[in-house]
Chains A and B, each alone.
Chain A
């Protein structure tokens, strides 16, 4: 088996006095989409932020593409080709949609073909191109946050709850976009509460519980095992839609 693109071994993270991650271990294979599931407070967001270097791992090792990134600074981690879409979206409200995307394209002005591809999926971004991003609706902000992560090809995308609060039509576009990305240039690690969405898209799954990864495997097997789902996710998971 080839070396995984991303691997976490025994990662522990403290936030202030609180011990959040107690030794997280899982792998993300190159290509495809891994869903990171778990109840609220299991440590999913903290895991993504620790990978990004936004929280410091107190112990353990994080490797990306064969390189130890545990102690690297956030900008350097990003420059290895990892993009992050936080749950709060964190778009720059005072900047226009255009400026948000120009900034995200590190290596120069955004490529027009790529922009067109993004516009085809997230039409609102084209419509509000020169509007301050703070004026967008919640769903549009989410589109912008995702667009910002994919404005240039990145090897690994870390995405925190992309469907939260989105209308079904937009979710469908999001699914299309993610599918194309994972079949093409990128590997995706997505935190998700919406299990229907997770099942449709996920190739692999890692389920967190209380600061650890309690289960890792293929999405197909996990989706078939409702007892395991019940055990790991309980009723907190959003299974409708």
Chain B
């Protein structure tokens, strides 16, 4: 496969195309940053899901549970460290966010391990049951969240250093969104480096393409899969924590809500492709923000429209994964 740049070009094309429609360059910059931030958060949550699908043909409809758990755990830690959150020092702020995010990732990862064992493993290769059982897992997980954290939504506020916006002339860029963009890019870079520069990444890429042959070469793909599942769950937890801070509220339904965006993104990107997931996430984030500004009533329908357009162009998604 020659490097296929066309889908990648969609991102700048979309950005440039939106500029005349929006008119004001200042709003355009704000919206673009917002779109990138949203897209990258979705990417963080979606990357693990697309890889586990590619590796073992498993699509976890309960992925949203990890997102929600991450958001709740992070919220709890941050509420416990409230004095540091409200302190007027960026270092104290980070000292609160750091452990919160770490805890979110660890708990989501551990939960992923359990989920894989109990929910996913017994139904390998049976798609119908897989969809049903993982959906059941989501229902139960959502209820358990309410058992543990109570049925009401938790209100969070961002730490002092991340409130407000950077101002450049009449261009305003929210600080938190800049952080989201940075974290998202770091995660993307780490994933890309791992996939392209390490032996482990080689194995994952080969496994996505043809897991059976990887086994015939003597590698235990099951173990690899469990590892990817856990990392994917932890990333979902990270994304959930970030999303919670972004929305400044956390509810048990957050998982199911964001999961819809995640699904759209991995369909657009091509099931199993991390690069496609990245492009898809940015497209979804940007479109949602541009349309949200231009025609707020249909903003959420815009993602479906985007998905339909992409699938009309490439029925298997932007970067179809070469399968067997």
Contacts and interface: CB of A to CB of B under 8 A. Distances in A.
B215 A78 contact: yes
Contacts of B322: 93-94, 134
A116 B123 CA distance: 46
Interface in A68-117: 73-75, 78-79, 83-84, 86, 88, 90, 92-95, 99-100, 102-104, 106
B218 interface: yes
A92 B215 contact: no
Interface of B (DSSP majority class)? helix
A52 interface: yes
B218 A75 contact: yes
B129 interface: no
B1 A132 contact: yes
B277 to A, nearest CB: 15
A54 interface: yes
Interface residues of A, number: 26
Given A93-B322, A94-B1, A135-B2, A103 B206 contact: yes
B217 A106 contact: yes
A83 B217 CA distance: 7
A193 to B, nearest CB: 22
A148 interface: yes
A93 B212 CA distance: 14
A83 B216 CA distance: 7
A95 B202 contact: yes
Contact of A73 (B1, B217, B220): B220
B216 A78 contact: yes
Contacts of A95: 202, 205-206, 209
B1 A103 contact: no
A132 B215 CA distance: 21
Given A54-B215, A78-B215, 6 more contacts: A92-B205, A100-B206, A103-B203, A106-B218, A134-B1, A148-B217
Interface of A: 52, 54, 73-75, 78-79, 83-84, 86, 88, 90, 92-95, 99-100, 102-104, 106, 132, 134-135, 148
| 3 A-B pairs closest in CB distance | A78-B218, A74-B215, A90-B213
